[in-house]
Amino acid sequence: MFKNIPLSAAIGLTITATYFLAAIFADLIAPYGMAEAVGDVWEPSSADHWLGTDQIGRDLLTRMIYGGQTTILIATLATMLSFTTGAVLGFIAAVSGGWVDQVMSRLVDLFMSIPSLILALVILSSIEATVVTLVVIMGLLDSTRVYRLSRAVAVDISVMDYVEAARLRGEKLTWIIFREILPNALSPLVAEMGLRFIFMVLFISTLSFLGIGVQPPLADWGGIVKENKEGINFGIGAALYPAVAIATLAISVNLIADWVLNRTTSLKGGRG
């Protein structure tokens, strides 16, 4: 799979793997405790604090590592929930057709008519924002976008001869979805998964910046921006580090998604 990998994909894999490994082994590589005050307010970079300190004297590199762990964990789980829910429901609607398709699609249209951020703000203002509730709310809200894509792809696939043959053989709905439609719908879904993951990273960062996302003592990149935004007025760039992290993660994941999409498309073309 990694033979003749293009340079752009190699860069994307390297950066993405670095972020994920840092998130997995945060407890081992973080130089200090997540909430430990180890210096003065907004100290500059030094040998003891590579990125300096934050607004209350905590090591900023440590906060970035633990913040990445929280952000990536929530974004990954929410993306998995979004795709599991949206893709399965989209395939069911496409294969079933008729009133099932109409009812499901109109309900999705209703939820999509309300901006996800506004709906999340309304929900989170009335319940406690924990990791579990954030994952569930973000995943279910974003599943509507995945539903629309998976349904559109499945509608085209469901009229193919091999799907009609499976129906004539008397195969069950689950067989048709997971053995006939899903393998042929992976290419667009993989490309979309990269985009949705980055959307989740931005989503949780926005919620935390607004104060209703990840709550202290946990750290996340959006919360770090919020905590240190006043430093920009004094020429202190502590709030810019998480922004750079989000940008580089977004670019690297999209490089991987483009490579996987091109590879799967070319493989299908070669078999044809």
Domain borders along the chain are 22-271
- Whole-angstrom distance, CA of residue 230 vs CA of residue 239: 8
Residue of 82, 81, 97 lying closest to 151 (CA atoms): 97
SS (H, E, C) 66-117: HHHHHHHHHHHHHHHHHHHHHHHHHHHHHHHCHHHHHHHHHHHHHHHCCCHH
pLDDT digits (tens, 9 = 90+) for 210-245: 988 888 888 899 999 999 988 888 888 889 999 999
Which pLDDT band holds residue 3 (cuts at 50, 70, 90)?
A: low
Q: List alpha helices for the chain, DSSP H.
A: 7-24, 26-29, 60-96, 98-112, 116-124, 131-158, 161-168, 173-175, 182-209, 221-228, 240-271
Cβ pair 228, 55 in contact under 8 A: yes
Counting residues of the chain whose pLDDT is more than 90, the rounded percentage is 43
pTM greater than 0.85: yes
| Residue partners of 177: CB distance under 8 A and separation at least 6 | 88, 91, 92, 95
Fold of 22-271: MetI-like fold (1.10.3720)
pLDDT tens-digit readout, 26-84: 999 999 988 888 888 888 888 888 998 998 889 999 999 999 999 999 999 999 999 99
- Angle of CA points 223, 65, 5, to nearest 5°: 115
Please state which of the ranges 11-15, 55-59, 165-169 shows the lowest mean pLDDT.
Answer: 165-169
